[in-house]
Amino acid sequence: MHSESKNRPMEILLVEDGWTDARVTIFALRRSRVHHRLTLVRSVSEATAFLRREGIFSRAPQPDLLLLDMMLPDGTGLDVLEAVKRSNVADVNTCGTTTVVLTASSDPELRARCDELNVHDYMKKPVCEEDFMRVVRDHKKLMIHSTPILEPVLV
């Protein structure tokens, strides 16, 4: 079990309906060499089912990193966070999940609402790959430091 813990991938849930943006994110993560496992969902309903572990997602892992597009076909990224918060499942932000909103909007009200929902980072699209990878690596370091078994293998 000890060696399994050391090699545990960062669990990433990408909620993105645009294929181009999803591909850019996936390729950036591959180039980063951060050990991860990524799940892509494309709607509010899929994201909430994943986070609540419902239906086909009943065995879904708790994500370490939630990358959340703001505009989705059946609502917004905020709808995902609000739905999880309203459910009986603990808020994703209190379970060790870092939430990053990815959006093309520069609406200050949207930013304020993200802050109210305890979003950790807010990145304007098109996302600068260097800034995006900084967020991923910073979270990976936090994840390692918060898990005593992993401290010796800090990247």
* Digit-coded pLDDT (tens) for 135-155: 888 877 766 544 443 333 333
pLDDT of residue 154: 36
pLDDT-based confidence at residue 105 (cuts at 50, 70, 90): confident
Name the pTM for this structure: 0.82
Can you give the residue ranges of every domain in the chain? 2-153
Single-letter amino acid code for the residue at 24: V
Distances (CA, A) of 101 to 5, 64, 95, 121, 145: 28, 14, 17, 6, 24
User: What pLDDT does residue 2 have?
Assistant: 39
**The predicted structure's pLDDT at residue 106:** 85
Tell me the per-residue pLDDT of 10-36, one tens digit each, with 9 for 90 and over. Answer: 999 999 999 998 998 898 888 888 889
Cα separation of 125 and 143, whole Å? 26
What's the average model confidence in pLDDT over 88-102? 70
| Burial state string for 11-35 with b = 16 or more CB within 10 A and e = fewer than 16 | bbbbbbbeeebbebbeebbeeeebe
CATH top-level class for 2-153? alpha beta
